[in-house]
Amino acid sequence: MEIPETAVKNVPNEYTLMSSKKGAKRYRTAEIEDMLAELTDAEERKDAALKDVMRRIFYNFDKRFVIRKRFFVQCFY
């Protein structure tokens, strides 16, 4: 969370300074770190699931290529 430099003196001790910029400092708490870890894990699981879905789509498309080819040949000749 970003806190203006004018309010930094009121920041609780459990906040960890992560970075700063002109006029503000960015802090994280243990709760934010936990939520960030959960978000990262969820994004990795989503990416793995999407990769598997795409793999299956291409596999099924390729598997039926011969059938589609025969169909198109019969339709156009």
At 43 the pLDDT is 98
For the CA atoms of 25, 28, 29, 33, what is the dihedral angle to 10 degrees?
Answer: 180
Q: Hey, what domains does the chain have and what are their CATH numbers?
A: 2-76 (1.10.1420.10)
- The pLDDT tens digits along the chain (77 residues) read 999 999 999 999 999 999 999 999 999 999 999 999 999 999 999 999 999 998 888 888 888 887 777 777 777 76
